[in-house]
Structures are given as C-alpha cells and as structure tokens.
Amino acid sequence: MNHRDPPAADARIALLIDADNAPAAKIDVVLAELAKLGVANIRRAYGNWKKNELKGWEQVLHEYAIRPIQQFDVSKGKNATDMLIAIDAMDLLYTDRPDAFGIVSSDADFTPLVMHLRAKGATVYGFGAKKTPAPFVNACSRFLYLENLGGGNEEPVVDIEIEPTPARKRGARSKKGDPGAEAPPAAAAAAPTSPLRQDTAALKQDARLVSLLRNSVEAVAGEDGWSTLGAVGTQIGNQASFDPRNYGYRKLSDLIEATQLFDIERRGSHVQLRDKRQARNGR
C-alpha cells in the first residue's frame, strides 16, 4: 500500500466534507480537481442539518450525489462533526480501502487523522480556506486553497510531474454498479482558476518556497548540475504539500521561471533547470 504508486485513471477517492467549515459554492471545483485524479465514488458531507447556516448545502447535495451525514451538537462549544468524520475515515480506510481521501475543511483538528491516513498508504488531498493552519496544510499530500479555485475564464493546466495519482494495490476494485459505491462516477467539468499571482519579489521573500525549490533541484541534479523538471516535480511531491496554483501559477514551470532563481533550458521534450548560484560559482 503506497500512495506513490503509478497513476491510475480508476483510482477511488473518498470525499469527506466538513460542511460546518466549508462553502457549498466551491463543491463543483473541488469535484473537478478530484476528477483529474480518479473517481470520487464515496461522497459525504457532515454537519447538523437543522442549522440555518447549512441551508446552502441542501441545494447541492442531490445535484452532486453527496450523502448528508447528520451530527447533532452534543454539547456547546464542542464540534462532534470532526470526531464523526475521523471515525468514518478510519472505517473506510480498513473496509472500502479507497486509494485516496479528499478532506474539505479549514480545521487543524484533522491533522492527526491526515498523518495516520498517509502513514497507512493513502494519499490525502486537502481543500480549505487560506486561514487553514499550516500543520493541516503541510500534513496533506497536496492542499489547495479554495480561494484559488474557480472564478476565472481559463481552463486550468496542471503539470503532470506533480500529480502522483494513487493506485494502491489490492485484491479487488469496485466495479460499475457495485452496491458499495455511494456515488456514480459522474463527470465533473474542468474548473477555471484565477488566483492572485505573486510577483518575483514576493516569491523570493518566501523562504520556505525558495528552500523547497532549491533543495529539490539540487537533490535530483545530474553530474552536470542540471535537473529535469519532471524529476524536480516528483521530488517536491514526495516531500511537501504543494501546488503552484496556491502562488497564482498554473504550472510548476511557470512558478519556477517567475522566481528568477534558476537557469532554464529546453532540450528536446525536456525542461532542464539549474540553480543560478552554480553558474556564478563556475560549476
């Protein structure tokens, strides 16, 4: 069970939505993102559906074949919904055994759950607001800010090098018509994006980003000091929750070029990268 297995178009994804902590207006773009990675055949939204705050979700539950899971407020100030999501996730992990989980929430309380799911071989795609605490963001295999999804007119393009779709090996997969599947593999339309793009100065001031990019390029560099874009993308995906759209760029190559920290050359069908500091040092 390894979430870094080769891509598989039939990868099964369990989508678990914290409706108390997520906007219904973004469900279409969330499903569109997951459709690139596999089939979200398990779709559940959790919350106290007697609350007026969740009225917006009622309009999309049937439209997108999402199963509502009721959780009453057991006590004031305590969120029983989080506990129920964690219990269901663990149950699914050991019974239905999906290849990946999509968790829609901005609540850091899910961090231990995500870490456990990944330790057991599942990929976890997180979706939440920019206010989402860093521990939850970093724990996910990949995390996308909802503010960066939807609202534009361009069709999104994602570098294949940073899309390691799960294909966990197992004895049998759910087939079409399997009664265990909660939602049909409905086709989701590609979602447009229009995030705020960070300029070169802002990117260079992001110490975490600069360190991640430089270390990844260095880690996969050949004897000549050059690295392929594909290898860099894989290295980044193996060590961090990362998506270039969180910085306003549709592709990893565009983001790297915008930092102006690397020499970039195209050699046939491959893009080669080298840290500019190496050139200055005569390497």
Query: Domain locations in the chain?
Result: 12-162, 200-280
Inter-CA distances, 93 with 40, 53, 110, Å: 15, 30, 15
Rg, C-alpha atoms of the chain: 20
C-beta of residue 44 within 8 angstroms of C-beta of residue 66: yes
Tokens of 277: 């500091």
Q: Which long-range contacts (CB under 8 A, 24 or more apart) does 187-190 make?
A: 187/35, 188/28, 188/31, 188/32, 188/34, 188/35, 189/28, 189/32, 190/32, 190/155, 190/156
Distance, first Cα to last Cα, the chain:
41
Tens of pLDDT along the chain (283 residues) come to 444 443 455 789 999 999 988 899 889 889 888 888 888 999 999 998 888 888 889 888 988 899 999 887 755 545 678 899 999 999 999 999 999 999 999 999 999 999 999 999 999 999 999 999 999 999 999 999 998 876 543 333 333 344 444 444 444 444 444 444 554 444 444 444 445 788 888 888 888 888 888 888 888 888 888 888 988 888 887 666 778 888 888 888 899 999 999 999 888 888 899 888 876 666 5
- Distance of alpha carbon 126 from alpha carbon 16, whole angstroms: 10
The fold for domain 12-162 equals Rossmann fold (3.40.50)
- Given this structure, which CATH class describes domain 200-280? alpha beta
